[in-house]
Structure 1
Amino acid sequence: MRALRPESTIITKASRVMDCPLQSDKSQVFAHADPHAVSEYVNRHVGSHCILMPNHGKPSASLSHRPLANLDLCRISYGGSVRVTSSALGTLYHLQILLKGHCLWRGGEGEHHFIPGELLLINPDDPVDLTYSDDCEKLIVKIPASFLDKACSDNQWRRPSEGIRFSPRHNLGELDGFSSLLGLVCDEAESEHALPLIQEKYASIIAGKLLALLKSNVSYDPLSDGNPSFEHLSQFIEENIKKDINLEHLAQLGQMSLRSLYALFEKSAGTTPRQYIRQRKLESIRNSLSDPRMGARSITEISLDYGFLHLGRFAENYKKAFGELPSETLRRHS
């Protein structure tokens, strides 16, 4: 069991991220701007929300923004006390890290004043109700739900059917290596020589780190020996052998990505999932043709039962698999 560290130590470690620029002037979109103009930009690029500000004073807002693969990085300050609300984020997660000032959060668990170094994770269906202090500044990372789902599948973690949900409050000092990762990601987003493939890798690491480090409803139980996932999938194939089996659905049943599905079948059956399914269909047809109890059913009727719509290609695949045409199999056992 991990020993608890004094809170002062955690906050000191978390505050180190405030020493990192995270985003430079290269990413600046607004400086000394109207907060409502900044809010409108955020609505277009980061997430739908409304702001409510006092009528007195002339606050000046600032915003830096950079996309990185499937993510968006946004550093924002409204320059005055502002209340930010939203009914829900739809299909987005918001990772919000307080850099300066404080922010009052109202949620299902009550209220909490976030201070620099603390992290708020807003789930897609969570209502948003935040009040910024005059000097509040935060980094927001927008993450599409589909991207976290993919990271869950790639790591073969069990995604809940109701969707991934994180607990809202976290401390950056407790997330080992995450501060440094954020700095690297912001640098990569601003790089003049950024490569899409590299940016996708960074974005994937962010998603994987969040799933690994933050408390959520994802199950991380490892697969046991003997490839039970392959046994489960092969049983499903046998039970649905006459149907058109979709590989995406097969991967979902195995709670893995398509790439992992192909690797599993290569390791367990020495072939691809599609070739495995086709071979099992052909073997089932051969068993039917070899059974004298089948009566007068035609080869065409049987092949169509198993989803082979192109009869010439079916006969070719059958002969390649068994060294004879389906008509020859039928004739020998009639």
Structure 2
Amino acid sequence: MDAAGQLGKNLLSSHPVLATGALEEARNAVTEVYLPHELINVEGRDEVAMVLNAVKDRNFTLGYLTYGSSARLTMPATEDTYHVNLTIAGSTFADRQDGERATTRSRLSGVVLLPDQLNRVQWTPDAEQLILKIPRRSLEGHLADLLGKPVRSVVHFDFQVDLTTARGQALLSAVEFLTAEMERPGGIADNPLARDQLEAYVMSQLLTAVPNPYTEELSAPAEPVQDGRLKPVVEYMESNADLALSPTELAKVGCMSVRSLHASFQKTFGESPMAYLRRIRLDHVRTELLNSREPDLQITDVAMRWGFFHLSRFAQQYRERYGELPSETIRRG
């Protein structure tokens, strides 16, 4: 396989890191993006056909990796990051320090590499993976927000990720959707707020799809808070609707967990907090369109000022709420 020739065919190809046949170059690139490790070709050749594409953001790193050879990696404990390896082609064979073993197969399974374990993974030549590198502060902070209490130790996920369950399929779908959006011009890559929310969704899917000590607590229905406790959250939304608000921030305003925030909004308003916020923002857009006296007013500028960056979706949501397109509102204004 010609690694350089394959680059344009692979996922995240607009975020290339390296395509190389040299084993040492491959090791250095994966070390730089993911973690220090030893790398050998088990067939005894000092070569691979590696392609690595990756993009890093505030919450985690997302990458596509293939070695195009029988590569074996030995990875010491990182202490500060989780790695989620979702196999989308071929197979890998993994084991870790505590004796656990796992086999991953295309779109059926993956593994979670814990920060406090040495891990070894052998790739078949046709193996390809989507790999998340998630700092402990991101994942454990997100879990703490969901639970409404501190998380101060490593989340000990099961080694193997079952992608055949409904939740496993949801995790794979979320990661693949994020991957596609990072490639799409005008997609989430250009919208930091939406990107943060999707990355948070991916972490939530991981926490519910892969068994861990918090699985039962996360699966239990969240208790809604008393209606009065939503008042400061709604007031904060209305006063800051032009800012990049997130469920995590809103939950902190209301002194509750993210799960309780969602349960409370569903009980009181029949919709999620972000859907409620969208209605507030749509109302602001409509008010501007109706009251503006600017002859050259641009709908795009108004929409983006209120957090609507996907304009076709904005127009659809506006029409669903008001029964007319934004352009029709301007003509009536």
Which category describes the TM-score, using the shorter chain as reference length?
0.5 to 0.7
1:213 and 2:202 correspond: no
Task: Indicate the residue corresponding to 2:277 in structure 1.
Answer: none
Distance 1:91 1:24, change over 3 A: closer
Structure 1 counterpart SS, 2:14:
helix
Q: Structure 1 residues 114, 164: closer, same or farther in 2, change over 3 A?
A: same
Hey, what's the Cα distance between the residues in 1 that align with 2:55 and 2:248?
28
The percentage of counterpart residues that share the same residue type is 17
User: Could you tell me whether the CA contact under 8 Å between 1:50 and 1:85 is conserved in 2?
Assistant: yes
Q: How far apart, in 1, do the equivalents of 2:149 and 2:169 lie?
A: 23
CA displacement at 1:188 relative to structure 2: 2.3
Contact 1:70–1:143 (Cα < 8 Å) also in 2:
yes
Shift of 1:148: 1.1
1:49 aligns with 2:37: yes
Q: Measured at CA, do residues 226 and 64 of structure 1 come closer, stay the same or move farther in structure 2, by a change above 3 Å?
A: closer
Supply the AA of the counterpart residue of 1:177. A
Distance 2:46 2:169 in 1: 41
Question: Which one of 89, 92, 115 corresponds to residue 81 of structure 2?
Answer: 92
**Deviates further, 189-198 or 81-90:** 189-198
1:114 to 104, 123, 141: 104
Secondary structure in structure 1 of the residue aligned to 2:112: strand
User: What's 2:179 paired with?
Assistant: 186
Which SS does the other structure have where 1:89 is aligned? Answer: coil
CA distance in 2, matches of 1:75, 1:154: 29
Displacement after TM superposition at 1:58 (Å): 3.8
Q: Deviations over 1:62-95 (max 9, x none)?
A: 1111224421111111221121012212211111
The match for 2:25 is 37
Gaps of 5+ in 2: 1-8, 230-246, 257-333
Q: Cα distance, 1:224 vs. partner?
A: 5.6
One-letter amino acid matched to 2:172: S
Rounded Cα–Cα distance in structure 2 between residues aligned with 1:112 and 1:226: 42
**Structure 2 Cα separation of the partners of residues 74 and 24 of structure 1:** 7
| Aligned 8 A contact 2:77 2:116 in 1 | yes
Provide, for residues 208-247 of structure 1, a one-character-per-residue CA deviation record: whole Å limited to 9, x for no partner. Answer: 11112221112335666888xx9xxxxxxxxxxxxxxxxx
CA displacement 1:132-152 (0-9 Å, x = unmatched): 122222111111111112221
- Stretch of structure 1 that moved more, 79-88 or 153-162: 153-162
State the AA in 2 paired with 1:88. Answer: A
TM-score by length of 2: 0.58
Computing the radius of gyration from Cα coordinates, the structure with the larger value is: 1
Q: Which residue of 1 aligns with 2:132?
A: 141
Aligned equivalent of 1:62, options 51, 54, 73: 51
Q: Does 1:130 align with 2:126?
A: no
Cα distance per residue 1:95-145 (max 9 Å; x no partner): 101122221111234433322121101111121111112222211111111
Structure 2 residue identity aligned to 1:35:
L
Cα-to-partner distance string for 1:284-331 (whole Å, 9 max, x where unaligned): xxxxxxxxxxxxxxxxxxxxxxxxxxxxxxxxxxxxxxxxxxxxxxxx
- C-alpha spacing 1:126/1:159, structure 2 compared with 1 (3 Å): farther
Distance in structure 2 (CA, Å) of the matches to 1:172 and 1:261 = 33
User: Equivalents in 1 of 2:203, 2:112: separation in Å?
Assistant: 13
CA distance in 1, matches of 2:14, 2:196: 21
Q: Rate the CA distance shift 1:24–1:158 in 2: closer, same or farther, 3 A.
A: same
Q: Residues 156 and 83 from structure 1, CA distance in 2 versus in 1: closer, same or farther, beyond 3 angstroms?
A: same
Displacement of 1:259 in angstroms is 4.9
Give the letter for the 1:199 counterpart: R
**Where do residues 9-48 of structure 1 align in structure 2 (5 Å cutoff)?**
23-48=11-36
- Say whether the 8 Å CA contact 1:153–1:257 is kept in structure 2: no
Q: What is the deviation of 1:190?
A: 2.6
Structure 1 segments unaligned to the other structure (5+ residues): 1-20, 231-255, 266-334
**Which SS does the other structure have where 1:41 is aligned?**
helix
201 and 58 in structure 1: CA distance in 2 versus 1, 3 angstrom threshold: same
Q: Structure 2 vs 1, CA of residues 208 and 62 (structure 1 numbering), >3 Å: closer, same or farther?
A: same
1:102 corresponding residue in structure 2? 91
The count of aligned residue pairs is 219
Q: What secondary structure, in the 3-state scheme, does the structure 2 residue paired with 1:59 have? A: strand
What amino acid does structure 2 have at the position aligned with 1:185?
L
Matched residue, 1:198:
194
Q: Which residue in the other structure is 2:156 paired with? A: 165
Contact 1:46 1:74 in 2 (8 A): no
Shift of 1:49: 1.5
Letter in 2 for 1:182: V
Contact 1:68 1:189 in 2 (8 A): no
Cα shift readout 1:2-34 (whole Å, capped 9, x = no counterpart): xxxxxxxxxxxxxxxxxxx88243233323432
CA distance in 2, matches of 1:95, 1:147: 14
